[in-house]
Structure 1
């Protein structure tokens, strides 16, 4: 578009603002700047379009977030950098103001195409922690879902959530459709399964090109949904016969399972996949078959099956497993001391490495990758002191993939992350 071109501008101005906004969606930023110089009215409209095209009101993407929990302070590590963009109060005010704007002028929601948001469930707008609130407290932003529904043109969505022990019923009840136009999706943090399933049910999966499940964890069932909750922390927890059935029947907290099978064989244009999951103090073999080990095994099976289903289109794949910092881990029963955890970290006994070898690596080794150009394997380091991804294994994998595929290995993840603690 030529600068100061006025041809057709008069006709454009006769259209409703919503239609003008939709037309502007197809213009690049330089064309928008050129068009805005034609008249004052368009200048205002285009400035608004540019302002709302990319919205980032988040805490999860570029910073750690510390909060008080029980008898200590824990830091969430599904963030990229330190420090956070906003503190709790500032984040709450900015989010509340944006949601109000979209409700007052719904067409503003249609202007948003790149949306980054942290669902804050740890306090109300005044910064009160859940521990100081009553059980009948109402989620602070009860109009959040309604505002989200106005954003029908979002193509790039980065949604994070900090959901801990406070059980907000509102967050478990998302509307039936959210962000239907998404083609680039990142989900991170401890998030209710209902939110994740709603998003995947809403988008056209055949149009999904980029997917990142970044330390996506399930808070599990609410307390009253456990029929005999205490038994899960008793002898049944260590029973190798009973436990698999318990895990199937119970939505156990931890790395979210069942999401990749939900979308498998439906992502026909997926180009990149990043799957990042936490390690856990629960990986100690001495503890026996505990829930996290069963969940981790299932997650690796799901990843292996899913990547095989997108082998024709996948251009980049990242598999990363972080390790919890030992000083931030605890067991509420007090049966395991931090000294054990430190010892585990020193020995680097990580069954999760072996699960990668058992499930994911065979698919990488035996599948024909038509489009793959980049492979990153991070956090798969050693198995009881012996290398897991040794030189011969790496050489065989590179030979199978071909020289045109760039393969990057990193034994220990530089982005440790906490596993959700059972409450």
Structure 2
């Protein structure tokens, strides 16, 4: 703290600090305050850094990017969909922050809330800049961050540094939100560092596993699509068991893209003594990702809720509904007949089975367990269970589903009418091809992928 005699305009430092503290959310104002004098900049800088937001994924809908000629499938663009949808100032501002903390590492202690979108490269850049290579070092210094909102939206497969994060990051986090597609090493570094007994809020918003080859490199889209497991009964199968996960950890099996259930499994095995809010948002179901990731996500969500039942106050679960899922038939007239048949006879039943299986997992835990503090449960995107049909032709009886709904003390039938139309496409691997690998090595890799 500066002594009042060091403030060149006579204002007591304590009064200025109170004023600056009230301006924490006013980033531009605080930045201008620092231009008044050197002493004001010294005094205001910690407050300017208290809540750092250098992100693009929270900008919501972006009408300027929408494509009117394809309103059904591409009519809405969201800022958390891709790294293409960001202001041109984002990367320069991120690098300025990295430079500041690199030059003055003592300032890192002042950052209490941190919102960041990992896009890495600026527009038209071919590689990482020198300052980008300080990212993990700067992140490791942010040891007082309590609220972390981290998104990964980059489409980079050829820069190893982006996956060479430290083993421990953000150890003081009590409110965690993860968005986009991430490699497990980054997620594990955060979860292994924080004190799970103090974690009060967990939000997984369209969080997806970017996937990995057995050697840890990101999996190419073509190999992921070719070798993903597309069969499996969502009502009965276990999904990714501990044995397969152990093989993945050892590098004996590949990790396929899909909804990331990994944080739920890792956290529920620890003491969750303060967990009050759980929010999970999944993108529209498609048959591209490995089916086992969906099934595992259903299991792990239910198990996580059970493990935190003594402290949870609110639960919010949202399933993204594909635009074609609930559109009127006349809206599909511009599509070819084969596409219309696929939507009606394959896609809708496929989505019904996944939605129904997930709902049964949720209803079972919400009905069977005692929740002393739970006051609100929000479920959205489950409309298909009202009039859907099964692809497997043997789901639990629809009458049983409605009986579960009536028996659950936290919901009523109204949630089955709540829409959640979502235009996001699932992440299915990076668009690159393995090069420089001889045929014997490629055959060996293909065999491992088949056994994964």
- How far apart in 2 are the matches of 1:245 and 1:274? 22
Structure 2 counterparts to residues 65-84 of structure 1, below 5 A: 77=78, 79=80
How many positions carry a matched residue from both structures?
Answer: 366
Report what 2:260 is aligned to.
256
In the aligned structure 2, how far is the partner of 1:169 from the partner of 1:204?
A: 29
Distance between the aligned counterparts of 1:238 and 1:307, measured in 2? 27
Contact between 2:143 and 2:172, CA under 8 Å: does it hold in 1? yes
Q: CA deviation at 1:358?
A: 3.1
TM-score by length of 2: 0.67
Q: 2:46 aligns with which of 42, 46, 49?
A: 49
Normalised by the length of structure 1, the TM-score is 0.72
The alpha-carbon deviation at position 111 of structure 1 amounts to: 1.3
Change (3 A) 1:185 1:388: farther
1:316-356 deviations in Å (ceiling 9; x for gaps): 111111134469xxxxxxxx975566445677842221121
Distance 1:337 1:90, change over 3 A: farther
The structure with the largest strand share of the pair is: 1
Q: Which residue matches 1:332? A: none
Partner of 2:114 in structure 1? 115
* Cα shift at 1:213: 0.7
Give unmatched runs, 5+ long, in structure 2.
Answer: 7-12, 25-32, 67-72, 246-252, 326-336, 390-397, 432-452
Counterpart among 195, 206, 229 of residue 204 in structure 1: 195
| Inter-CA distance 200–410: structure 2 relative to 1 (3 Å threshold) | farther
Distance 1:77 1:311, change over 3 A: same
- Residue 5 of structure 1 corresponds to none
Aligned to 2:210: 219
Distance 1:177 1:395, change over 3 A: same
Whole-Å separation in 2 of the counterparts to 1:192 and 1:350: 29
> Aligned partners of 1:194 and 1:105: how far apart in 2?
28
Alpha-carbon distance change, 253 to 310 in structure 1, aligned in 2, over 3 angstroms: same
Q: C-alpha deviations, 1:177-225, integer Å up to 9, x for none?
A: 2111111110010111111100011111111111101111011014976
Q: Equivalent residue for 2:292? A: 294
Q: How does 1:24-63 map to 2 (within 5 A)?
A: 29=22, 43-63=40-60
Judge conservation of contact 2:149–2:177 (CA < 8 Å) in 1.
Answer: yes
**Which residue number corresponds to residue 9 of structure 2?**
none
Describe the SS at the equivalent of 1:142: helix
Aligned twin of 2:443 = none
Consecutive unaligned residues of structure 1, counting only runs of 5 or more, are 1-7, 14-19, 283-289, 328-335
SS at the partner of 1:382?
helix
1:106-185 residue pairs with structure 2 within 5 A?
106-121=105-120, 124-128=121-125, 133=126, 137-138=127-128, 141-164=132-155, 166-185=157-176
The superposition leaves residues 46-89 of structure 1 with CA deviations (integer Å, 9 ceiling, x where unpaired) of: 4212211111111111235879xxxx999874739xx96x42x3
RMSD (Å), alpha carbons? 4.5
Question: What corresponds to 2:318 in structure 1?
Answer: 320
Asked if structure 2 preserves the Cα contact closer than 8 Å seen for 1:217 and 1:253, the reply is: yes
Q: Secondary structure at the match of 1:107?
A: helix
Deviation at 1:164, TM superposition (A): 3.2
